[in-house]
């Protein structure tokens, strides 16, 4: 029988799920698009996560990204935007199923280790930050840039961001990227490890590369961050930055002026409310906000400007913070009744 030409070989799976030693290992396998998360990947990961949670032979879960550039650069937002324009159900289903997965990770009963090597943004943050352990490397780049595309820092951002000290501190451990294979090998070789066993191993790797002389890059700005961003309105934050007038404050101001005014106000309210809510309550709130964004203008305009035309010149509606009223924001937080997220 003749062999088929290589061109018709089966496509690479977008996510590879396998048991290795004591661990269930999830490999996000779309390196060409920085392991961006789409709905079919979510639909593979969630049921397998549930199986691993119940399987006595699986003691922990490790999640990682293929290639050297990214853990996961976010959700497949372009597909969601196109679906929203068509009125297709993906604009509902993607966020709903992604948030159910975020909740499953946040409530996972066994040790959950995310190797966040490379770009970790948006949906990639949701796959990592709610787990017990996040191992960063010198290549890790963390961002929640959603207000630039007319969204907000979702995937449970309303839960974890307000709880960070000084609103900072994402990873639990650090190691060099070159040592990740040996770290993973040691993790999967553990015998029925507890959370403490996993923590001890990660601590050892962390201590071996810790450079006590290296300064935390945000340390010099910590006082300014706490002082200038303490206001309880976006207008107040902008006024603080303008009043400060220093180089750092001016840089932040210029960045904020490029973001969607509606998204910034939504995010501030989301984070303010989220600090008092459980993870499930936050995800329910965030699902409501996504559906408000799907009904609005700025999400479509933001994705057009950043991801499609790439002109980086979004025309936001409204274009000024003062034109986004509390009444406008209220509609994003209202119950969706039977369409609410069920966790």
Active-site residue identified among 74, 123, 156, 158: 123
Catalytic residue check, 323? no
Helix (H) or strand (E) holding 18: strand 15-20
Q: How far is CA 263 from CA 16, 54, 146, 228, in A?
A: 35, 39, 8, 19
Alpha-carbon 189 to chain mean position: 29
Which residue out of 14, 98, 117, 154 is catalytically annotated?
154
Does the annotation mark 106 as catalytic?
A: no
Give strand pairing partners of 62: 25, 113
Residue 172: how many other CB atoms lie within 10 Å: 18
**Active-site residue, 226 included:** no
Task: Out of 21, 24, 75, 157, pick the active-site residue.
Answer: 75
CA contacts within 13 A on the Cβ side of 307? 21
Note whether 152 and 292 are within 8 A (CB). no
Cβ(264)–Cβ(234) under 8 Å? Answer: yes
In the residue annotation, 298 being an active-site residue is answered as no
Kindly name the residue from 76, 98, 117, 146 that is annotated as catalytic.
146
H/E/C letters for each residue in 247-278? HHHHHHHHHHCCCCHHHHHHHHHHHHHHCCCC
Q: Which helix (H) or strand (E) holds 224?
A: helix 222-228
Please identify every residue annotated as catalytic: 75, 123, 146, 154
């Amino acid at each position: 029988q003749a062999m088929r030409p290589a061109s018709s070989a089966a496509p690479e799976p977008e996510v590879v799920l396998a048991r290795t030693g004591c661990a269930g290992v999830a490999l996000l396998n779309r390196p060409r698009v920085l392991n961006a998360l789409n709905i079919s990947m979510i639909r593979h990961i969630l049921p397998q996560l549930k199986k691993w949670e119940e399987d006595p032979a699986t003691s922990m879960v490790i999640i990682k990204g293929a290639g050297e550039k990214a853990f996961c650069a976010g959700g497949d937002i372009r597909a969601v935007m196109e679906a929203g324009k068509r009125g297709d159900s993906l604009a509902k289903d993607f966020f709903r199923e992604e948030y159910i997965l975020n909740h499953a990770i946040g409530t996972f009963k066994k040790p959950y280790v995310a190797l966040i090597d490379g770009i970790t943004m948006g949906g990639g943050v949701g796959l990592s930050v709610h787990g017990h352990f996040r191992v960063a490397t010198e290549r890790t780049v963390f961002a929640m840039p959603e207000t630039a595309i007319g969204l907000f820092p979702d995937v449970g951002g309303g839960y974890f961001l307000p709880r960070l000290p000084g609103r900072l501190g994402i990873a639990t451990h650090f190691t060099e990227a070159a040592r990740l294979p040996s770290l993973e090998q040691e993790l999967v070789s553990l015998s029925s490890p507890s959370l403490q066993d996993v923590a001890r191993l990660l601590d050892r790797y962390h201590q071996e590369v810790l450079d006590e002389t290296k300064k935390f890059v945000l340390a010099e700005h910590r006082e300014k961050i706490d002082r200038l961003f303490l206001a309880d309105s976006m207008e107040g934050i902008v006024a603080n930055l303008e009043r400060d007038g220093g180089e750092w404050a001016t840089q932040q101001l210029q960045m904020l002026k490029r973001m969607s005014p509606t998204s910034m106000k939504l995010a501030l309210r989301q984070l303010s409310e989220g600090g008092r809510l459980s993870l499930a309550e936050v995800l329910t709130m965030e699902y409501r906000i996504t559906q408000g964004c799907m009904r609005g203008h700025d999400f479509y305009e933001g994705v057009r400007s950043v991801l499609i035309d790439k002109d980086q010149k979004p025309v936001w509606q409204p274009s000024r913070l003062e034109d986004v009223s509390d009444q406008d924001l209220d509609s994003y937080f209202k119950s969706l009744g039977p369409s609410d997220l069920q966790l």
